[in-house]
Structure 1
């Protein structure tokens, strides 16, 4: 019988807040309830924002909450070769291409395309779908620009990717999506357009790293916020392309502030450390997010 494996995977680019506490406590409690394992993974590929000090604060906050995890902790920055190998497979299969358009160029292209009043298509997050210009460049031009040292990102060619996989694929959802979607969910990654899979200086992105990590760590249950529900379609596509196992997914509700806004590290929302300094106990924090305290 397979032992369930859960994970909590924060990025050390800010202080953990109540939303992180909820996700970590939920994963930990589900692992305990099923006799499973609980892993902690540090997603620190963004070297410009992630710091050792914030990583240490993550460990302190989780330990204070009463959460225990297996050692060693997987740190993404120590496993770049794993992502590079996966990227190489996608490059060799001609499923990805280098894109050179800057954000400003994309913005100008979309503005010009919408000048006649026809809206440019958006992804589930409301961001304009990436224009087709880079996908349509010749291989000779791509190589010339890459050899010249131009900055670029590797993007998944969504049309080419779909030619390599079954016409329809799914995931099992035990939580729910933004519209209450649950059960067997049909993955529709094409809604995202040609997403970024890696960059010139770092051979991965969140999408690629998360599916590689989950596979290598044997994760069987991915429990995370509902804001990542639609991104699961991209992750399922990458799992199909790379022949990786498919975990069960559970997308949970988000912890919101008084105005109904999602909590954010970048906006300095109340952190676990600040609550502790103000006199809150681990049991108080658990109750704030609607869960039982760790015993």
Structure 2
């Protein structure tokens, strides 16, 4: 599969601290600016990579252009830099990766693990999961099709050891045949993330708990495509006072970029990650806070909670 190419590349200076094979990444969707929940994921993945002496990459997951307003990616990069989260290689963009995804889909189809589907969500709304009507024959020839993963034929059951939530086991067939390519010709998350993690040599994935049940499909795809499997660490989700997950859809406030606001918020994020940062560093320069946090990072301190209230500060 081809090398990653970005519409514009932002490269941080690669330093001597990269001393291991650890390769981590932060992969936001540029549907708007980062918020505190995004910061938790970015910071944890950054600290995990730096403490291991590894590389940390940024990938912009812009496979859904209607959801990605112009300039959102640049704003995300500015926010990361304001918090001292500097990446080690060119920023990659999924919007440039169509050929790699098509190659993977063609291979899955040749293996009988991907199939075209003309069904609409409205047609199967009374079913908990898509019932597989098009698995053997296209139900409505001539209509636009999505491409789905044949989850009943791939590797199953799927079991793995999450670094925080422990032993996990799922049967992907009970989750349904996930979409790999949409009817509007846009690539879906599951296939794109698997292809990109493999092409970038990602060894460790640190992301939110809301993606834990996506892992079985991704493990199926990795097995079918003969791709390596990274280690997974799923993080508790930060929820607002109303119990809703912090998200752009729920109008979570954007992260600031001015230093006076960034410093205490960075400390607050370290507290939310159960890292017990020294109180004396609560308003210290970003570089000082991160240096201490990298040295002290311990993922085993994280409490295995699916949801966590927004810390007060």
Instruction: Name the TM tier (shorter chain).
Output: 0.7 to 0.9
Q: What TM-score do you get using the length of structure 1 for normalisation?
A: 0.81
Which consecutive aligned stretches of 4+ in structure 1 deviate over 4 angstroms post-superposition?
Answer: none
Q: Please list every run of 5 or more consecutive structure 2 residues that lacks an aligned counterpart in the other structure.
A: 1-18, 278-288, 292-313
2:250 counterpart residue number:
267
Instruction: Give how far 1:272 is off.
Output: 0.4
Q: Is the 2:206–2:234 Cα contact (8 Å) retained in structure 1?
A: yes
Q: For residues 223-280 of structure 1, what are the alpha-carbon distances to aligned partners after superposition, in whole Å with 9 as ceiling and x for unaligned?
A: 000111111111111111111001000001111111222111112111103xx57x85
Counterpart check, 1:196 vs 2:214: no
Which aligned pairs between 1:1-295 and structure 2 lie closer than 5 A?
Answer: 3-107=21-125, 110=126, 120=127, 128-137=128-137, 145=141, 148=142, 150-161=143-154, 165=155, 167-176=156-165, 182=166, 184-202=167-185, 204-273=187-256, 276=257, 281-289=261-269, 290=271, 291=273, 292=277, 293-295=289-291
Q: How many residues align?
A: 257
Q: Which moved more, 1:82-91 or 1:280-289?
A: 280-289
C-alpha separation between the residues in 1 aligned to 2:196 and 2:233? 17
Instruction: Give how far 1:102 is off.
Output: 1.7
Instruction: Give how far 1:173 is off.
Output: 1.3
SS in 2 for 1:207: helix
Instruction: Flag the structure with more relative contact order, 1 or 2, with Cα contacts below 8 A and sequence separation at least 6.
Output: 1
Q: Please list every run of 5 or more consecutive structure 1 residues that lacks an aligned counterpart in the other structure.
A: 111-119, 121-127, 177-181
| Counterparts in 2 of 1:242 and 1:235: CA distance versus 1, 3 Å | same
Instruction: Give how far 1:6 is off.
Output: 0.8
